[in-house]
Amino acid sequence: MKIVASCLVIVAFFLVGTGSGQADDSDVPVVSLQECVTAALARNPVYAQAKANVLIQEATLQSSQKDLLPTFSVKYGYTRQPDANRLIVPEDYYSYAFSVEQPLYRGRALMTATELNELGLNASGMDLAKAVNDLVLAVHKAYFEVLKSQQLVNVASQAVSRLESHLHDAKAFYEVGLIPKNDLLTSEVRLAQGKQDLLAARNSLTVAKATLNILMENDVAAPLELADVLAYQEREVNWEDLLSQAKESRPEINKGKLVVAQADKNIIMARAPYLPSLSLAATYMKQGDTPAADYYPGGSREIRTAQANLQWRFFTWGQSQNKIAEAKSRVFQAEKALEQAADQVTMELRKAFLDLKQFEENIKVTEKAIEQAEENYRINEERYRAQLATSTEVLDAQTLLTQARTNYYNALYDYNISDTTLAWAVGTLGRSNSANQ
């Protein structure tokens, strides 16, 4: 029997040592924050749509620029006229013509349309910049949430270990009659609560990883191993400088300015149909009684024409004034929307600025609180083992220690999130990432 037992121990040793063929966490590659951002920009549908819109606007601009160029056309026709006077008009009449037309003036509509499309292209660029800014912020937040959740799982796991150790001591004291039954039950209840807290922390970590996976268009349950980029360095930030930079850099404000400029151009477009339009045209036509138009009995078989066309709708019952009034009202709307966007940016920047300052202070406070909570737990645990403190005092000290560590990691990672949010509020977060795409 001893030989069999020894063999079983050896087999078990090798199975544990080789992992029994199961996947190890070390098999999952460690992913950096920048790699997550790059993956999100490469696959995220919102960013892809914004990028496609830029291409659409580029094509629209190129099309409007070609409206300024001359147009060429060709026409070929055949007419059967059995009752025609064949000395003048052939029974079978063929004709073909080549024409060229150059628009000269259409109430500045052609040039203004090009300028409008240039503004539209720039506006789509602002939409793309906003998409990058927002997506990079979302990735940063999700990344730091995963790291924070991992630390909170560790904190909860350590709390369970301490509670299990305390329960072990409580059982030993109870068995020799040093503590009452209710102290033992209290320890058991606190351990059960600690295990629930650990389960909740693990679920939060799973959700945080799922959020990051979705942003990168990965499978929601794909394994993730992240490089910890936790850093705390107190920053000197000036509110006035940040606000000035945000007004220059935020895509929402820059797009609002472009929309106002577009609204101004639309006043010209509203007026253009009611102003004179001028164009030049030239046509070469050949006619005859054969498919090649070689002979025409009624006169010349070649006709060349040149035209200067002037058109003016000089009376439309005041419709032009109505259109212009509508366009001017849209300018007013665009200006007010720009003011609203500026106010929104200011509020977002102010909140990010205050959050950064708050979490800076929280880090300093929670660092000191951890030291105090660790010492408090150590003292109460020693006093309990010497039967100078109650089980409740030890459990309360354990709760304070867990809360202090939780507060510390919350403050530390929330500081990194708020630092990223501040860069987003200024409008500079996605610039380097956008330039690399």
Mean pLDDT along residues 382-404: 89
Q: DSSP readout, 209-278?
A: HHHHHHHTT--TT---EE------------HHHHHHHHHHH-HHHHHHHHHHHHHHHHHHHHHGGGS-EE
For residue 10, the model assigns a pLDDT of 32
Query: What is the model's pLDDT at position 19?
Result: 36
Q: Which pLDDT value is given to residue 214? A: 95
Average of per-residue pLDDT across 146-157: 95
pLDDT for 89 beyond 80: no
Q: Is the pLDDT of residue 182 over 60?
A: yes
| pLDDT band, residue 186 (cuts 50/70/90) | confident
Q: What is the mean pLDDT of residues 266-293?
A: 88
**Lowest-confidence segment of 17-26, 132-141, 154-163 by average pLDDT:** 17-26
Residue with tokens 């070390």: 26
pLDDT greater than 80 at residue 212: yes
Query: How confident is the model over 377-385, as a mean pLDDT?
Result: 89
Percent of the chain with pLDDT over 90: 57
- Provide the pLDDT for residue 282: 94
Q: pTM for the full model?
A: 0.80
Over residues 185-194, the mean pLDDT reads 91
Cβ pair 398, 164 in contact under 8 A: no
CA 67 to chain centre: 35
CA atoms within 13 A on the CB side of 408: 19
Q: State the CB neighbour count (10 A cutoff) for residue 423.
A: 19
**What is the mean pLDDT of the segment spanning 279-293?**
89
Please tell me the distance from the alpha carbon of residue 252 to that of residue 264, in angstroms, as a whole number. 19
Which stretches of 29-88 are assigned E, i.e. beta strand? 30-31, 71-80
At residue 369, does pLDDT exceed 90?
yes
Q: So what's the pLDDT on residue 25? A: 52
Q: What is the pLDDT of residue 169?
A: 87
Are 265 and 122 spatial neighbours (Cβ–Cβ below 8 Å)?
no
- The pLDDT of residue 34: 92
CB 400 within 8 A of CB 377: yes
Q: Are residues 226 and 164 in contact, defined by beta-carbon separation less than 8 angstroms?
A: no
Q: How confident is the model at residue 299 (pLDDT cuts 50, 70, 90)?
A: confident
The reported pLDDT for the residue numbered 1 is 36
What is the arithmetic mean of pLDDT over 44-65?
A: 92
| Average pLDDT of the chain, as a whole number | 86
| 26-69+107-275+319-435: CATH, from 1.10.240.10, 1.20.58.110, 2.60.40.10, 1.20.1600.10 | 1.20.1600.10
Average pLDDT over residues 312-339: 89
- Compute the average pLDDT of residues 331-351: 95
Predicted pLDDT of residue 42: 92
Mean pLDDT within 420-431: 89
Strand pairing class (225-226; 30-31) = parallel
Those residues whose C-beta lies under 8 Å from the C-beta of residue 147, and which sit 6 or more positions away, are: 226, 228, 229, 230, 413
- What is d(CA 380, CA 394) in angstroms, rounded to the nearest whole number? 5
pLDDT at 4: 34
Range with the poorest average pLDDT among 17-21, 101-105, 132-136, 320-324: 17-21
pLDDT at residue number 108: 82
